[in-house]
Structure 1
Amino acid sequence: MAISFDKAFGIHPDSLKLRAKNAEVIASNIANADTPGYKAKGMDFKTAFAQAASKQQSGMSRTHEKHFDVRTEINNGVDYRVPNQPDTGDGNTVDVQVERNLYLENSMQYQASLQFLNGKIKGLKKAITGGQ
């Protein structure tokens, strides 16, 4: 009997991809905190996650190696963030304290998703080996 990893893991692999992308966006903001004119970017995780879930439920699959795999083509939802501080004169909208907090929160959510996925893998392994 074949195991469908897509069904077993559900949306969680896509969640990890989105969390990793969000970490990149936040890290880019922190790295450019002193760059004049840099505009902070943010990710609407709920929207990107909803898009990933709807694409997974559509059941589309890659039938030829030159076709795009629509399941991995997730619109990441990255857009410019509305600044919560007045312009400091150089046009930069990055608030380092906010970015650090967002990075920490995203990191914890990434770890939670990873632990959940790890539990799923352990459960499948136990089912395959018979609990040995």
Structure 2
Amino acid sequence: MAIGFDKGFQLHTQGMLIRSQRAEVIASNIANADTPGYKAKGLDFNQALAQAANKQKMGMSRTNDKHFDIRTELNNSVDYRVPNNPDTGDGNTVDVQVERNLYLKNSMEYQASIQFLNGKIKAMKKVISGGQ
């Protein structure tokens, strides 16, 4: 009986990809904190993961190198964030403290995902080697 590593890790790898893209969105917000008129963006992790899970269930796959891999296209999940503070006059909605906190939280969740996957891999190695 073959072990399906791809199916066992696919959703977790999608989660790590989403967290990576979320970090890019937050970093972009921080980088544009002083840009007049810039609107802060956010990526809803739960929505993006649900979207990835639905696409995984539908069994879509790339059949040609020129096709887009829609499983990794998460632009639909990136949206403008509702500002916490009133407009300062330049139209920028980035709150640097909020963005830093979100970045730190996302980093910790990414690290937790890595630790979870490492634990899963160690458990599989133990099963394969017979517990030695």
1:95-125 deviation per Cα after TM superposition (whole angstroms, max 9, x unaligned): 0010011111111111111111111111222
- Partner of 2:71, secondary structure, is coil
Tell me what 2:122 maps to: 122
Cα distance, 1:25 vs structure 2: 0.5
Contact 1:36 1:90 in 2 (8 A): yes
The alignment yields a C-alpha RMSD, in angstroms, of 1.8
Name 2:40's counterpart in structure 1.
Answer: 40
Q: TM-score, normalised by structure 2?
A: 0.88
**1:58 has 2:69 as partner:** no
Identify unmatched segments of 5+ residues in structure 2: none
Q: 1:36 to 1:75 in 2, by over 3 A?
A: closer
Residue 71 of structure 1 corresponds to 71
The letter of the residue matching 1:121 is I
User: How big is each residue's C-alpha offset from its partner over 1:20-70, in whole Å with a ceiling of 9 and x where there is no partner?
Assistant: 000010011111111111110111111111001111122233344444444
One-letter amino acid of the structure 1 residue matched with residue 34 of structure 2:
D
TM-score normalised to structure 1 length: 0.88
1:52 alignment partner AA: A
Q: Is the Cα–Cα contact under 8 Å of residues 25 and 42 in structure 1 kept in the other structure?
A: yes
Partner amino acid for 1:78? Answer: V
- Correspondences of 1:1-132 after superposition (within 5 Å): 1-75=1-75, 77-132=77-132
Q: Which runs of 5+ in 1 are unaligned?
A: none
Change (3 A) 1:91 1:65: closer
Query: Cα–Cα, structure 1 residues 66 and 130, in superposed 2: closer, same or farther, change >3 Å?
Result: farther
Shift in alpha-carbon separation, 1:38–1:12, aligned structure 2, 3 A:
same
Counterpart of 1:116, as a letter, is F
Q: Per-residue CA shift, 1:58-103, capped at 9, x if unaligned?
A: 2233344444444334445111111111111111110001001111
> Are the counterparts in 2 of residues 11 and 53 from structure 1 also a CA contact under 8 Å?
yes
Q: What is the DSSP-based 3-state SS (H/G/I as helix, E as strand, rest coil) of the residue aligned with 1:11?
A: helix
Deviates more, 1:73-82 or 1:88-97: 73-82
Identity %: 75
Between Structure 1 and Structure 2, how many residues are aligned?
A: 132
The SS at the match of 1:71 is helix
